[in-house]
Each structure stands twice: as structure tokens, then as C-alpha cells.
Amino acid sequence: MEFINAVGHAMEHAAKDISHMIDAKNKINVTLDRISYVGGDIVQGTVFLKCEVPFSAKGVIVKIKGHEKSSWEEWRQRQTQEGQPPERYIHVHKESKEFFKDNIRVYPYEGIVQPGDYSFPFQYQLPPTLPGTYFESHGQWGHGDAYLAEVIYFAKAKIDVVFKHDLKKKQHFVINERFDKALQPSYGENSKTFLLTKGKLSAKVWLDKNCYFPGNTVIARLEANNTSVKPTNKVNVKVIKHLQLHAEGHHWEKKTEIYRQVYKGFEPSWFGVRWLPFPIPINILPSTTTSKLVKCHYFFIVECDIPGAIDLQVQLPTAILAPQWLYSDQPQMPPAMQLPPDVSYRPPWQPDGSAPSCNKCHNGFTLFNRRHHCRHCGKVFCGKCSSKACKIPNLGYNEEVVKVCDECWHTASTGGHQFQAAPTLPVEEPKELVVPSAPVHHDG
């Protein structure tokens, strides 16, 4: 019996020595014709084997697989002893799902593999609908704030051999979620009134496209019509990521502002067009919306920051496609773009501080002789010299009657004369932000 055990141990050590020699001397690799695909595409690849030490093999196999995983930690409470406070503990929600999994035997023959270089081509047709590649991991597990979101695709080549060893090679590839919408501009609008001020602020926003790659430059066209005397301090453009995870019938989500660009605001009663260029961050993760466990949506927010009032926001959903370089080198940033000039359809708003007296009668302003802006020329007058009011459709005052001065009355009452100018707009430096929001937990 001892002899048999000794022989068994000797054979086991010999197998390990042979396995180590095969691993050290022989090499296997797998290459694919592309690094990105969409559902329904045919993946074509080649397995390369460089053999220096002969070994016995049962064949060459390519394992091709796509799967998703989601998991997150959640603090819970449980009663351990009667009369004692409840105990807090961490519960982990997790679930995984395969989209496809196949073994392709690219060389099915058994025998001794002799020294030499070998290549084995193969192909595989992907299922017609697949979610986009995605991977995000955050936090340290065991602290109650970690989560994992994974949508991964790979092809792994390995040699089916007698002894167990690691003669294998994995190659990831990118799946772009199929974008079935027509490539066209995106549009959104919003408006708000004010509690203590007449008039309202309306904003319309157009994007040049409805989907982008990381590193692309977005061109947003903002048309704002402010019929109130409220100024806008600044205009913010934000990129928001909305990640949703599902597992075990439960749901978790998190919204994160990942990028912000800040532009100069506009004066009271401003009506015109601004062009707001901003880059998609180069390291942004792609959208994935068709998977069961992991969903990542993106939307842009154009926000008018108004002092003493709730800000006006226009939200535009978009799609971020998986970058073609996800498993290779990063691309260079695109060159600067030439934009059309910004346009104002109303004359400049005269600041109160620059008008100590009426522009017509030159009487000074007091507590009882108050300032009034003419909505047609934008200058400051006293009440007597701006006693008339009308709608001015050519200047965007379509819904309410507004004050005009005596000199502008004739032109304003017949629709008004539209003013056009191209103001110089200094742009603040872009700010990249990672502003985590509180996760939301609820049962699904």
C-alpha cells in the first residue's frame, strides 16, 4: 500500500513538472478581426500556438462568452436578543446572468503536438440583441458602500490537455449596444415664472446629435427668452450618469454629475442664442440600457442659474457609445471647432448704476421718481417718459404687455424692430466633478 501511494505521489509530481514545462515553453494567443461589435455580427478570430515542448493534447478550444453581474452592499438591522437594540449588519445583493456561452473546438483532433507554429481560424455569430459593454466597481467590500456593475464579453483560447495547467489566453471585445434611433439633433425646452416678478424665462436647447463617443465635442444651441427683470448669473452644462442595478428582486440606483462646463450668464430681459460647446469626458463609461441587471443612462442638463429663485433646467437624454479604443490606446482629443457667433435679439439692458437720471427728461431718480426700462431699446426712463405699454412680438414679448418709452412707442406698437448683435462671451475653465449622490434602495 505504501508503495502504491509513493508511486502515486511520484506521478503527481511528474505531472506538475511537465505542466510547468509546458506552461513556460509553449505559448498560446487569440486575436479577433475587430475590437468592437454589435449584436448579430460575426466574430472572426485566430488562435496561435507556439510549441517548443511536445505534449499530448485533445484539441484546441475557444470559449466565447458574454455575461452580466450586479452586486451591492446594503446596511440592515436585525433583532438578536429581546430587550436589546437591533444589530446592524451588511447584506450583499448579487446576481449574474449569461447572454451566451459556447465552446468552439477549432482543432478537434487528439495526439502529440510537435514543436512548431500553428494557427487555427474560427468564427462565431453573436446573438441579435446584446447590451453594451460596461464595467464599474466602487468602494471596499465589507464597509457597506461597495457595488459592482459588469457587462463583459470575451473569447478565451485554451488547449485541452491531459495535465491541468494554464496554457490559455483571454481576449476581451467591446459590444456597442445597437442604436436604432435615427442620427438627428436632440431637442428639449422648459420655462418658469417668478413669485415676485412679472414675466418668465423660457429656454430651448438643441444638440447637434443624439449619441456620442467619449472624446466627442457636443455643440448645444441655447435660445433663451427672459421677459422678466431677473438676471441669470451663469449657465451650467452638466453631464449626468444614472446607474441602476437589479439583483434578487431588489433595485439600487445612483446619479452622478461627472462633468460640468460653466458659461457667463445673461442680463435681465435678454433674448437671443448662445452656442455652448463642451467635450464628452474621454474616460466616460458607455450607455447600456437593454440588460436585465445593469443599466446606465446619460443625460445632459443645461441650467440657468438665477439668483433668489429656483434654477431653470432643460434635460436632454443621450446615448454614449462604447469607445472603439476601450481595449487599446486612447485617441487624441479632437481639435477646437469654429462656432457661429452668439446672437442677441434685444438691445443691451442698461444697468441701473449707469443711469442716475431719465434718458429723455434728465430728471434724477429718487424714492418716488423710480427707474423703468423700455423693453424696446433697453434704456432707463422715468414713469412719465415710459407711460405706454404694448406687446412687442418681434422682440419676443408675445404674451404680455410691457413698458416702452415715448420715443419707441410708434415702432414698438407695430411689432418692434429686432436688434442683432454678437456679444463676446468669456468662458470659464471647464470643471470635472465627481459628485456622488446618496444611493436609493428599495425592494423591487
Summarize pLDDT for 41-62 with one digit per residue, the tens.
Answer: 999 999 999 988 888 888 899 9
Instruction: Give the mean pLDDT of 299-323.
Output: 90
The band of 423, judged by pLDDT with boundaries at 50, 70 and 90, is very low
Instruction: Give the mean pLDDT of 351-365.
Output: 91
Q: Which residue has the higher pLDDT, 283 or 440?
A: 283
**CATH 2.60.40.640 boundaries in the chain:** 2-77+87-175, 186-327+425-443
Residues 400-419: tens digit of each pLDDT: 899 999 999 999 999 998 77
The band of 214, judged by pLDDT with boundaries at 50, 70 and 90, is confident
* Best CATH choice for the domain 2-77+87-175 from the list 3.90.1150.10, 2.60.40.640, 1.10.4080.10, 3.30.300.30: 2.60.40.640
pLDDT at 86: 87
Instruction: Give the mean pLDDT of 180-187.
Output: 75
Give Cα 110 to chain centroid, integer Å.
Answer: 50
Q: Is the pLDDT of residue 210 over 90?
A: no
DSSP state of 53: S
**What's the mean per-residue pLDDT of the chain?**
84
Instruction: Give the mean pLDDT of 13-17.
Output: 45
pLDDT at 25: 78
Q: Is the pLDDT of residue 328 over 60?
A: no
- Identify the weakest region by mean pLDDT among 19-28, 174-183, 354-363: 19-28
* Best CATH choice for the domain 186-327+425-443 from the list 1.20.120.530, 3.30.2420.10, 2.60.40.640, 3.30.450.20: 2.60.40.640
Instruction: Give the mean pLDDT of 168-189.
Output: 84
Output b/e per residue, 35-58; b: 16+ Cβ within 10 A.
bbbbbebebebbbebebeeebebe
- What is the CA angle 111-115-120, rounded to 5? 70
Torsion of CA 3, 5, 9, 11, to 10 degrees: 70
pLDDT at 165: 59
**CATH 3.30.40.10 boundaries in the chain:** 352-413
* Best CATH choice for the domain 352-413 from the list 3.40.50.300, 3.40.190.10, 3.30.40.10, 3.40.50.2300: 3.30.40.10
| pTM, entire model | 0.77
- Residue 66, C-alpha cell as written in the block: 458574454
Percent over 70 (pLDDT), the chain? 84
| Those residues with Cβ within 8 angstroms of residue 405's Cβ, 6 or more apart along the chain or in another chain | 359, 360, 374, 376, 377, 379, 381, 385, 386, 388
What CA–CA distance (Å, rounded) separates 396 from 191?
A: 14
